[in-house]
Structure 1
Amino acid sequence: MAACSFRRSIASQLSKILDLPPENLIKSISAVPVSKKRQVADFQFSVDSITEDRSSDHSAQALQLRAQMLAEKLKRDAVVSEISTGPGTVNFTINRELLAKTVLQQVLKDGSEYEIKSELFSTVPRQKAVIEFSSPNIAKKFHIGHLRSTIIGLLGVGFQQFGDKEKLKSSPLQHLFEVYVQINKAAEDENTRKLASDFFRKLEEHDEETLSLWKQFRSFSIEEYIRIYKRLGVHFDEYSGESFYQEKSQEVLKMLEEKGLLQKTMKGTGIVDLSEKRDLSSFSTVMRSDGTSLYITRDLAAAIDRMNKHNCDSMIYVTDKSQSNHFQHLFQILKLMGYDWAERCQHVSFGLVQGMKTRRGEVIFLEDVLDEARSRMLQNMASAKTTKEIENPADTAEKIGLAALIIQDFQGLLSSDYQFSWDRALQSRGDTGVFLQYTHARLHSLEQMHGNAELTAVNVACLQEPEAISVLQHLLRYDEVLYRSSQDLQPKHIVSYLLTLSHLAAVAHKTLLVKGSTPERAQARLCLFQAARLVLANGMKLLGITPVTQM
């Protein structure tokens, strides 16, 4: 690992002076972010990280003094060509030819595995995680924010009143959505609501006719979802939503009763007291007055079943932030039931997308959004002067459009709401998914035109221009970015890294010409651009983006 080998070398020298094991110092040595205004050092060591004594002076002046004293004791060697200090840091500049040789060698050798096995991950044990995500409703078209709710009872009654078996076969989700809209209007009537709760109760009692209808809805929904998921490049190992656990939810209610956790209210509903003082100041309703389960009961059954089945190290639920309270209750009840693994359950929440419209109107379904992204991208490609003849323009437009949606969605904190803009998302310049795809295609085209660079033939002395050094420095930071995203489960770090890489590569592509250069210089530059493209592709794939090679 390129960055690791340099970190180890720096840690080894620091360890002798500080009398600390090198492994204790590794994580305090970080690659310095590239600056547009000036050349920077490659790594920095934070002096504050080794000051364990809280009573010590942590002022900027004191830290600066400590950094200077430490820097004076360090020596330049075959790896480190320069040592300087910053605000509370000791900065290290790596021998320029060694930097180029090590980074390029590592990227081209490891390919898609580059920095995946970094030393930064050595303290992170290999784990099995069960991740529940997407969670659309059975028989409800993918909504752009698809909030999860129990609609099965309403839908069952609606189909009995407004359904058409032929339409169900030909366009299942569209027809079921129409049925849902009709029954939703009728749900203002108390009798309709009673029919819906009767349908749901029959479902839990395993009434054959009711169960058969629900199974049809589920089967048609999943078939349709698989088709849409395929467009997103998403594959699930298992399809089992909370509605799948109706039967097991009754077992959960029995367990809660046996553990003395289930209390009945005057209305006959079942609740679990979550308050610290056991005064019902905080509680969760887990059973309706007719004895049927609720969404949280089925989620409890699902969590217990999945842990028994997969024996995983962690369970991660990815849903919108309006469900934060629900998951807080879910994890609390699991703890009260005696499941220690509830500590390893986590809710990753996301915000709402505001202002998204398609040409067809306000109601936004994911498929409509994907179609819109593809058609707008096709239109942009057709009108762009630089667009080349492409074998399958619709497929390319789909991949670029999806990249545009993903990058706009992942640029900020997942939990933040954001204002969606088609114009901003589909810009070919700036911090967009379209720009990432354009950069990748451009670098791929360069390789096609001049052939792949052979590292053995590269003279790294030809890569000393500031633009080349900036790209190499940025490639050094990749493992830190991956590590950070793995720790806080936020994709924005990877997005920011890839956008910067694309901008640095674009500047280098403009100034470090391959065509017309001496063979030696051309080969070295090709090698640099190939490394940048590989890391760009790796990061894009991690975000669910398929890199395009033409556009």
Structure 2
Amino acid sequence: MEKQMTALQISHILGEEYPREWVESLIEVPKKASFGDVSFPCFALAKSMRKKPAIIAGEIATRLKHPVFDQVEVQGGYINIFFDRAFITEHTLNQVLEDPEAYGSHTFGEGKNVVFDMSSPNIAKPFSMGHLRSTVIGNALANLMEKCGYTPVKVNYIGDYGTQFGKLLAAYTRWGDPDVVEADPIKELTKLYVTFHEAAEKEPSLIEEGREWFKKLETQDPEALTLWNWFREASLNEFNTLYEMLGVDFDWTRGEAYYTDKMEPVIKLLDEKGLLETSEGADVVQLGDTMPPCLIRKSNGTTTYATRDLAAAIDRYQSYPFEKSLYVVGSEQSLHFQQMKLVLKKAGFEWADRLEHVSFGMILQDGKKMSTRKGKTILLEEALEEAVAQALLNMKEKNPNLTNPEETARQVGVGAVIFHDLKQDRRHDIEFSLEDMLTFEGNTGPYLQYTHARACSLLRKGSFSAETPQPAGDDPEAWPLVKAVRAFPEMTQTACSTNDPSKIARYLLDLARTFNHYYAKSKILGSPSQQERLTLVYAFTVVLKEGLRLLGMAAPEHM
């Protein structure tokens, strides 16, 4: 807020050719407190104003006045501004105390839908760590959108259609044992899928057999449908157990198969628009010289991912007219979404530009990509269970008298896995490491949760009540923490607008470190300013808890 206010003041002094947004983009937060709370560099003005930056800075500084500015200094070509700490502290804490749950909220998304295509695991395959990224990134972004006023619509677009299911059906009819599969469906179906690909390397005709089974599925062959329904139901039951552990739910769960009868109208529409062409027996839409054509229907008559995704996009807009439709899908699918968007634009759908691919990198195992077909993958359920077990051991060592340790261990273990993902720039590949995730020190989820519990312990010991806070007072040692708490609304807006939950994760790490530094340097309990300082501690817990919630994590009060 102070950056915007400062930018407005400077823009007013400079004149309309220097808009507030441009000025604000230049304002910095100095690394050293001695250089002010915010700083405006004047170097970008030197050419247009034909003056040295230091002269420009001096001229602006003499006119820069506002009740919240405590001091304005010029240093070289910089204007360094110090705020009235007592005023800012009281204003910030009153904002938090007025409505703790609403602090950091915005209204710019009111009345607008955002549809999320997220998670989207394939049936008859285990829910691997590779699916975790789409699930937790999508969930965090949906929470952020809701925080900013949007109505999020979370769609779990289950992979229950396509040539891979033809391969699975072929594998089951060759090697499957109904009793063995019934006992542990996902595990045994995965084995069959891996066996198929191993066998196909020696017997290439198996690939064609898989295609034939998929064609049977498309033509509603009774045997193919019965097996497919069985595989699908078993998979969904297992997925739901994992979603419950992660605390993730959905507004829609729709598989690709849902669009079986909706693909032909899309193909017909493309044909009527004159977009469909025949190429080597297949139906395609040409997308220019710089992009490969989009394959709509293969030469054997079967449809493609693109056909189903086009039908799904149209269906979603008709059901939930969206401001944005976000596809939280791995970066390897970038070309697919570019093609889909172009086809929709060519077909005349004005909302095609509202589709965005929120891409992300892979989770690696020993530096290599996981692969179900090669049998190289880490199962999410096993990873979560191990994380919870390790968290329980860690907490029993640190606090053997902890009440309800199992529930807290679940919150910490699951939170550790989630945070390890979300603290990273989503575009980067990340290495899976439970050891790194679960440490109580450093940039981890347990560190944040432990810091929250530590602050809650302070509030209990000081008998603090949110009903009788004391937000006033100028406490020099508290100023960095006040500024950190005050930054939360700006961070939620930025993370939402950039589709980047890592901004919240990294902010929370800075916030927690700032609190721990304040706690180490300041006497809180028993000090003359105990209530004022506990009020700040309470405000800190409000922001940390809400930030963790946005990421999909719990904030334990005891650890």
Q: TM-score scaled to structure 1, two decimals?
A: 0.86
- The CA distance in 1 between the partners of 2:467 and 2:76, in whole Å, is 38
- The CA distance in 2 between the partners of 1:311 and 1:136, in whole Å, is 25
How far the C-alpha of 1:235 sits from its partner, in A, is 0.4
- The CA distance in 1 between the partners of 2:459 and 2:541, in whole Å, is 10
- The CA distance in 2 between the partners of 1:172 and 1:353, in whole Å, is 25
Per-residue CA deviations over 1:447-485 (Å, capped at 9, x if unaligned) read 222222457552633x4133x100001112112211221
Among 160, 168, 178, the residue aligned to 1:155? 168
How do 1:277-426 and structure 2 match up within 5 A?
Answer: 282-355=292-365, 363-384=377-398, 387-426=399-438
- The CA distance in 1 between the partners of 2:240 and 2:26, in whole Å, is 42
Identity within the alignment, %: 32
Assess, with a 3 A threshold, how the Cα gap between structure 1 residues 29 and 291 changes in structure 2: closer, same or farther: closer
Per-residue CA deviations over 1:41-95 (Å, capped at 9, x if unaligned) read 334456689x6xx97269xx84443232111112353x22112246765443222
Instruction: Give the AA of the match of 2:222.
Output: E
Do residues 143 (structure 1) and 132 (structure 2) align? no
Per-residue CA deviations over 1:492-528 (Å, capped at 9, x if unaligned) read 211111001000111111222233323xx11111111
Residue in structure 1 matched with residue 245 of structure 2 by the alignment: 231
Deviates more, 1:502-511 or 1:92-101: 92-101
Do residues 112 (structure 1) and 112 (structure 2) align? no
Matched-pair contact (CA < 8 Å) for 2:11–2:23: no
How do 1:7-22 and structure 2 match up within 5 A?
Answer: 10=6, 13-14=9-10, 17-18=13-14
- The CA distance in 1 between the partners of 2:77 and 2:252, in whole Å, is 50
Assess, with a 3 A threshold, how the Cα gap between structure 1 residues 392 and 30 changes in structure 2: closer, same or farther: farther
Matched-pair contact (CA < 8 Å) for 2:7–2:23: no
3-state SS, counterpart of residue 95 of structure 2:
helix
Among 234, 244, 253, the residue aligned to 2:258? 244
3-state SS, counterpart of residue 424 of structure 2:
coil
Among 173, 178, 198, the residue aligned to 2:186? 173
How far the C-alpha of 1:12 sits from its partner, in A, is 6.7
Matched-pair contact (CA < 8 Å) for 1:29–1:44: no
Matched-pair contact (CA < 8 Å) for 1:453–1:526: no
- The CA distance in 2 between the partners of 1:337 and 1:428, in whole Å, is 53
Instruction: Give the AA of the match of 1:163.
Output: G
3-state SS, counterpart of residue 129 of structure 1:
strand
Deviates more, 1:338-347 or 1:83-92: 83-92
- The CA distance in 1 between the partners of 2:30 and 2:531, in whole Å, is 24
Among 84, 90, 93, the residue aligned to 1:95? 84
Residue in structure 2 matched with residue 433 of structure 1 by the alignment: 445
How far the C-alpha of 1:169 sits from its partner, in A, is 4.4
Matched-pair contact (CA < 8 Å) for 2:163–2:214: no
- The CA distance in 2 between the partners of 1:455 and 1:14, in whole Å, is 40
Residue in structure 2 matched with residue 470 of structure 1 by the alignment: 480
Residue in structure 2 matched with residue 523 of structure 1 by the alignment: 531
Assess, with a 3 A threshold, how the Cα gap between structure 1 residues 140 and 346 changes in structure 2: closer, same or farther: same
Do residues 543 (structure 1) and 558 (structure 2) align? no
- The CA distance in 2 between the partners of 1:22 and 1:311, in whole Å, is 37
3-state SS, counterpart of residue 296 of structure 2:
strand
- The CA distance in 2 between the partners of 1:197 and 1:94, in whole Å, is 69
Residue in structure 2 matched with residue 42 of structure 1 by the alignment: 37
Structure 2: which 5+ residue stretches go unaligned? Answer: 135-158
Assess, with a 3 A threshold, how the Cα gap between structure 1 residues 57 and 353 changes in structure 2: closer, same or farther: farther
Matched-pair contact (CA < 8 Å) for 1:351–1:414: yes
Structure 1: which 5+ residue stretches go unaligned? Answer: none
How far the C-alpha of 1:226 sits from its partner, in A, is 1.2
Deviates more, 1:142-151 or 1:197-206: 142-151
Residue in structure 2 matched with residue 74 of structure 1 by the alignment: 64
Instruction: Give the AA of the match of 1:489.
Output: N
3-state SS, counterpart of residue 469 of structure 1:
helix
- State the superposition RMSD in angstroms: 3.1
Assess, with a 3 A threshold, how the Cα gap between structure 1 residues 70 and 296 changes in structure 2: closer, same or farther: same
3-state SS, counterpart of residue 350 of structure 1:
coil
Matched-pair contact (CA < 8 Å) for 1:32–1:40: no
3-state SS, counterpart of residue 141 of structure 1:
coil
- The CA distance in 1 between the partners of 2:445 and 2:506, in whole Å, is 11
- The CA distance in 1 between the partners of 2:49 and 2:97, in whole Å, is 46
How far the C-alpha of 1:259 sits from its partner, in A, is 2.2
Assess, with a 3 A threshold, how the Cα gap between structure 1 residues 102 and 30 changes in structure 2: closer, same or farther: farther
- The CA distance in 2 between the partners of 1:168 and 1:541, in whole Å, is 38
Do residues 514 (structure 1) and 503 (structure 2) align? no
Matched-pair contact (CA < 8 Å) for 1:269–1:288: yes
Matched-pair contact (CA < 8 Å) for 1:33–1:474: no
- The CA distance in 2 between the partners of 1:484 and 1:12, in whole Å, is 19
- The CA distance in 2 between the partners of 1:27 and 1:532, in whole Å, is 30
| Number of matched pairs | 524
Assess, with a 3 A threshold, how the Cα gap between structure 1 residues 299 and 399 changes in structure 2: closer, same or farther: same
Q: TM-score scaled to structure 2, two decimals?
A: 0.85
Among 195, 199, 216, the residue aligned to 1:202? 216
Matched-pair contact (CA < 8 Å) for 1:76–1:83: no
Matched-pair contact (CA < 8 Å) for 2:54–2:75: yes
Residue in structure 1 matched with residue 24 of structure 2 by the alignment: 28
Per-residue CA deviations over 1:102-145 (Å, capped at 9, x if unaligned) read 1111112221211212xxx65x6652111101111111111211
Residue in structure 1 matched with residue 72 of structure 2 by the alignment: 83
- The CA distance in 2 between the partners of 1:219 and 1:154, in whole Å, is 18
3-state SS, counterpart of residue 271 of structure 1:
strand
Assess, with a 3 A threshold, how the Cα gap between structure 1 residues 74 and 303 changes in structure 2: closer, same or farther: same
Residue in structure 2 matched with residue 481 of structure 1 by the alignment: 491
